[in-house]
Amino acid sequence: MLDIKLIRKEPEVVQKRLRLKDPKIDLAPLIKADKEWQAITPKLENLRAEKNRLAKEVGFKKAKNEDSSKEIERMSALKTQEAELSKEQASLEETVKTLLSEYPNLPFSEVPFGTSAADNVEIHRFQEKKELGFLFKHHVELSDALGLFDFERGAKVSGRGFPIYNHVASKIELALWNLMLETHQKNGFHLRMMPLLVRPETMYASGQLPKFESQLFKLKDEDFHLYLIPTSEVPINSLYRDEILEEKELPLLLTSLTPCFRREAGAAGSNERGLIRTHQFYKVELFALTTPETSPNVHEKMIQSAHEILETLELHYRDMLLCSDDMSFAAAKTVDIEVWLHGQNRYYEVSSASNCSCYQARRSNIRYRKKDGALDFVHTLNASGLATSRLMVALLESNQKEDGSIHLPQKLAKRVGFEVIRADGTIT
């Protein structure tokens, strides 16, 4: 959530920066509601001061056995006015809060302006795209030949977008989870096992509500009103909600593995089939709470930890600094790490590393006490470390051979216990 004090102080500057994300953004409704809300405060203070003065007057008159009916009548009228003004103030406060929640985070100054993903800027790459030199297969075709996934039975059980991983694919997936978690823990991130169902206020605190309500799976009946998490960033962000941390505790570096659930599974075109966009997938998350001064360095630390995994797997990747239009709602700066998928003939994101500045912390009310005793909001950061479904696609498609087999990279092969997956069903 944005700082209302900053908007009051520099409304034109804030609106100009917000319009880098969305040119249609207009702060006028918020500014109008906020001014009306602020205007009620002195009116209430004057009413209460008058009530206190009259109460003393009534006390004096009663002590002298004098008539105080006029003062009592006036106090009653003031009490009615106070109740009406308090109700109006509460309504305006809720309006201001609702309007504030609908505005995205302000982009950092180093974020390039852009109107689409075409304006993102490549800032780093590892190796180059692997040239296969033969008529290669899409990962769905590889799956059909090698029996890796069962999309049809997954659809029978749960519907389209819920793939089943067969034995060999499951072993690879498990090995990837362990590789990721071990790497991140080595790099200083502490493991958490998080709930998969969360309250509405938890979704709100991370910026998922109200904007993304339609994209979420939810459970709502007379006993429960809960949401399935779209990413473990959501519950981790609320771990310290409404708490005050000490500066010496920061940065807090956390990692978690969870399934992720998203209603919007994307387009149904030929390139989007299989594992590219699904309603359920697994992801290792990186999350950090930092001081404003240390958040840029922690952002880089997250990116480097994700890099280490991709380089261990010998996968070509590139880093893209997202332009203002392509960033997420809560992000102030985002670097996407993308791998090349041969079957799709394009790059796809496997990690999105975002610095959300104090935006989520304001919604979550997470502050820290500085060494001088002053309180300030923490910065929150998150990154995929990594999303395994597209990573699986990259591994399968880039390591296929002309005879239809797949040769896993050496360090992954040691973890799963085999290196070659053959069309006859054998693994060695």
- Per DSSP, the residues of 338-402 read EEEETTTTEEEEEEEEEE-TTHHHHHHT-EEE-TTS-EEEPEEEEEEEEEHHHHHHHHHHHTB-T
Tokens of 269: 């075109």
Residue found under tokens 């823990």: 185
CA 201 from chain centre, in angstroms, equals: 14
Active site members? 262, 277, 349, 352, 390
Full strand arrangement of the beta sheet holding 218-220: 197-198, 225-228, 218-220
Cα separation, 68 vs 62, whole angstroms = 7
Tokens of 315: 């996968």
Cβ proximity of 287 and 299 under 8 Å: no
Cβ proximity of 203 and 227 under 8 Å: yes
Strand boundaries in 248-369, DSSP class E? 252-261, 280-290, 317-321, 333-341, 346-355, 367-369
Residues making up the chain, counted from first to last: 428
